[in-house]
Amino acid sequence: MKIQIDILKDSLNKLLDYTKEAHGETVDIDADLYWFVPRDMLVEPAVVPSELTLGSLEDDWQQISAIGDGAREPIGYGLVWASAVLRAVGDRTL
């Protein structure tokens, strides 16, 4: 599968615009910690993950915010942080 970045960007912008319109400027997230599945285990559905670790939405949000305000340079792993935050926002706004 090939992901076209422009389509992904447009889709995310539309989803975020929808969320802002439906739920306002902010979304309250009650939880901080979540189970993080390592990358090599995430894409192996035949193997039950045995090395789960904890991630922190607060830490992920701090990193994403720092990229957004220019205090930190964008890096590829930023998308992993963003995915956790987007998941939390999506789950909260169902």
Confidence (pLDDT) at 47: 87
Res 11 pLDDT > 90:
yes
Outline where 1-94 has alpha helix (H). 5-23, 39-42, 57-68, 78-92
Which H/E stretch holds residue 56?
Answer: strand 53-56
User: Alpha-carbon distance 94 to 91, whole Å?
Assistant: 6
pLDDT in tens, 64-87: 999 999 999 999 999 999 999 999
89 — pLDDT class (breaks 50, 70, 90): very high
pLDDT in tens, 47-67: 888 889 999 999 999 999 999
User: Alpha-carbon distance 56 to 65, whole Å?
Assistant: 14
Average pLDDT of the residues in 18-47: 94
